[in-house]
Structure 1
């Protein structure tokens, strides 16, 4: 009996989809905000992702993304130095932001909703990210835009809570491409 249970457990392990790693060269995570009404893009240069997904069985899928906050790049060193300070991302105290799925469900042809926990600056919120899915050259590609409110994560404290200069609405645009197996 014990051998049968062990064999079944090992069989299930080998049949389960493996976690695919990120193809960093083809992937991106960009935060788009508005400063005085003008869109501003900031790109996270370093992040990792692990994905296990079969479009025929989305409920069994899972994904996690970990972002290196200090890698945020607005295209100018003086701005980059500001964003890591305590008023903004506080990268010294909160070096990582994470998203971990809790459920994935279909939302139309090639479209899915990934529900999960988004943690930024030590604050965790439940979010639902609309995701489009396709396969390109044998790689899984996940793209979407996740709208958030920066003040819900204490991004922009003190004088920066004023949303007339930097808007509260932020769009996190992502393209996650898995490495070929």
Structure 2
């Protein structure tokens, strides 16, 4: 006896792919607008869903080839030929669409790695940029073809079910062995819901101009205790000056303790993107009583940038941003340290970033207790002055030019 219904595996794969395709098409329409964190997130999700469709479609094709299925419906030769063509084209869309998207990612100018749903690494295809334009044209055509096939497929199913009176839907819709009207309506509602979800997922957040203008430039240094400000109280300043008068502090080499923070904040379409560098080292020779001979040198491993998004972090390493292949480190060096009063100091020097050297100034608060010190401070740089952001990223309408730096750490010196 031939099978009267598709296997549960085929049914599950059919509807899972249908929902993902509907979601993916709607998501593709939403990949427009200015560069923003939301648009970046939509692109990453689009890539993940595309690879998921590719893998599920290959599994569905294997199921079709190697498991029993109901016989094809009777009817005129042209209807059977049209049904076979629609099914064949669906497999073409479900497989070629993701593959051309994979080619687009692999040949893009900015090589953003793919992490499936932010977890599983997915490699680039080893092909040249010559494939980029053909892949882009085919990828767009596959989307429009998928929409047409959706309409033909649904029309054919409804024709068989209600116009010809053939129970076609019961063979593929779960739990529809009897009447399929209610379940069919539910299936259509699910597909429509998937398309709505594709339009609204990671929707752009509104950013009022006033909110952007008044947004804080730098987060408070994390080393400061809760409720404490970086400005010293008058009585504390008097106390520090009195202690300084009692005993001059010799010039010493300070060792930075583990657990310090070197962070940065950029603004992308008005939204603050916070990050940090997990690997950096500092050579500090300092005495508050011998500032002319005090020096600071900080070396930062640019590849250690961490913004909480692995794909964005890898983008920062590319030639459009830090270009870590050619310039793995950034170096701040200062031998002009000035006392601003109380616990406040300023270090003037140069920042060497991406092979460009520019003057840079950082301000910090310093508290010395015996042979231990606590430091917290801030700085601000113009990324465009160092060429961080090439091509489409050079403009400052999406990513602001100003980047705020914050740091905090503890340090020790040899016992005197």
TM-score by length of 1: 0.85
Confirm or deny: 8 A CA contact 1:102 1:117 kept in the other structure. Answer: no
**1:24 maps to which residue?**
258
Q: Does 1:146 align with 2:379?
A: yes
Query: 1:72 Cα deviation (Å)?
Result: 0.3
Secondary structure, aligned partner of 1:170: strand
Any unmatched runs of 5+ in structure 2? 1-248
The corresponding residue for 1:41 is 274
Residues 93-172 of structure 1 aligned to structure 2 (within 5 Å): 93-135=326-368, 138-172=371-405
Shift in Å, 1:128: 1.8
Measured in 1, the distance between the counterparts of 2:276 and 2:346 equals 23
| Residue aligning to 1:76 | 309
Higher relative contact order (CA 8 A, sep 6+): 1
Question: How many angstroms does 1:44 deviate by?
Answer: 0.1
Higher helix share: 2
Q: Secondary structure at the match of 1:178?
A: strand
Map Cα deviations across residues 118-168 of structure 1 (whole Å, 9 max, x no partner): 111111111221121113684222221111110001001100012111111
Offset at residue 177 of structure 1 (A)? 2.3
**Distance in 1 separating the partners of 2:413 and 2:301:** 23
Change (3 A) 1:144 1:122: same
Distance 1:16 1:95 in 2: 35
Question: Contact 2:268–2:398 at 8 Å: present in 1 too?
Answer: yes
Q: Which of the residues 60, 64, 80 maps onto 2:297?
A: 64
Separation in 1, partners of 2:341, 2:304:
34
Deviation at 1:16, TM superposition (A): 6.4
Structure showing greater radius of gyration is 2
**Which range moves more in the overlay, 53-62 or 78-87?**
53-62
Taking structure 2 as the reference length, the TM-score comes to 0.38
Q: Which digits, 9 at most, give the CA deviation of each residue in 1:82-112, with x for residues without a partner?
A: 0000000001100000111121111111111
Question: SS of the counterpart of 2:326?
Answer: coil
Q: Structure 1: any 5+ residue segments left out of the alignment?
A: 1-14
- The structure in which a higher percent of residues are strand is 1
How many residues of Structure 1 are paired with residues of Structure 2 in the alignment? 166
- Asked if 2 retains the 8 angstrom alpha-carbon contact of 1:62 and 1:102, the reply is yes
**How far apart are 1:42 and its partner, in Å?**
1.2
**Partner of residue 175, structure 1:** 408
**Could you give the per-residue CA deviations for residues 2-29 of structure 1, whole angstroms, max 9, x where no partner exists?**
xxxxxxxxxxxxx96332222121x111
Aligned to 1:86: 319
Aligned to 1:107, what secondary structure does the other structure show?
A: strand
141 and 70 in structure 1: CA distance in 2 versus 1, 3 angstrom threshold: same
Two-structure CA RMSD over aligned residues (Å)? 1.8
Cα shift at 1:113: 1.1
Question: Aligned partners of 1:141 and 1:59: how far apart in 2?
Answer: 21
Distance 2:336 2:411 in 1: 19
